[in-house]
Amino acid sequence: MEREVQATYYDGATSKPQEAIVRVSDMNSLEVRLPDGNRFQWPLEHKGMEWERTRTMLRLSFGEHPRKVLLIRDEPFIKSFALRMRYTGRQGTYDRLLAVARSGPVLFFIGVIALLVCAYIWVLPWTAERLVMVVPNAVDERIGEAAFQQMALAMPMDPERTQALQAFGDQLDLSPSYSPTYHVVNEDQVNAFALPGGHIVVFTGILDRMNSSDELAALLAHEATHVEERHSTRMMARSMAGYLFLSLLIGDVNAVVAVVAENANALRNLGYGRGLESEADGVGQQHLWENGVDPHAMVKLLELLQREAMDMPEQMAFLSSHPLTSERIDAARKQAEELGPPARTNEQ
């Protein structure tokens, strides 16, 4: 006969614990005796009886809602109970893991390492990206400002064309959550990029190859959508997942800003996936239409970039971070047809 041990009993109706005495009877049932003299039995093989244990505590539950619970902290009893349940084929999670570890410790260790690696590669970046979406927009602005100030030291700005581009962009409402600041860099590089918070940089190499103001509006709409949808911040979160997740979790925004400023060029060259590029095209076209610009301008911009890529691939830095596919052009053309001519015309 199993010896009697102390236990803590919860009747499910109240949160008040009661002291109880339990033992396993010869009938393969758990006998429970309460201080008021009440007794009851829980058949160990009953499907309604569930149990889990650690090395130092056994938790059993039984019955319909509300379920009754027993907590037992007697280690010899716990070991004996786990052994008895193993013979009935009803092991708890703890014991199943122990069995796997004992049957193949090397494989178990490799499995744990593989699980941690998968979590680091896929789960943590995914979590960090979504965590970024709940932080204030002001965080994007601080990150983008710090990155831009670091970059500006090495970029030959064109003040006159910057002023003209800013005036052009101010006529368009492309990013409702931010106030975009436009910059023109005097380099024959077919490129443009957006930083978190609203800094949008356009190189003269791409400006000089445009044939109309509509194409420029499409370029700004595309980049402004990256800002509005926080694409750069989300991609940065994925690439710096571990550090960024911890910093944002404890609210240390200053540390994030400092790291971004030190690695500003990495943010500038951050590549977007096809999904984000398609979103920037589609949302950008919607903004064009709302601003009185023909959404076919996005199609013309993408076709321009495609032609230039054939002629001078070594200078197409834009496509290295903004991958262009024929599917994007087809999708832009389809959406332009669906949107139709804008309700009003933007005279620029």
Residue type at position 251:
G
The owner of tokens 């008021």 is 36
Return the pLDDT at 216: 96
Return the pLDDT at 189: 85
Return the pLDDT at 160: 96
Return the pLDDT at 335: 94
Residue 66, phi then psi, degrees to nearest 5: -80, 135
Could you read off the pLDDT of 196-210 as tens digits, one per residue? 899 999 999 999 999
Q: How far, in Å, CA of 180 to CA of 244, rounded?
A: 25
Could you read off the pLDDT of 7-56 as tens digits, one per residue? 998 887 777 888 999 988 877 788 889 988 888 888 877 777 787 887 78
Return the pLDDT at 301: 93
Q: Which pTM value belongs to this model?
A: 0.59
Helix pair 231-239, 137-152: axis angle to 10 deg: 80
Residue type at position 248:
L
Q: How far, in Å, CA of 95 to CA of 103, rounded?
A: 12
* Mean pLDDT (10-residue bins), the chain, 348 residues: 82 83 82 88 79 82 81 88 71 58 56 57 60 77 87 91 96 92 93 91 94 95 93 73 52 55 54 80 94 94 84 57 78 93 69
Return the pLDDT at 225: 95
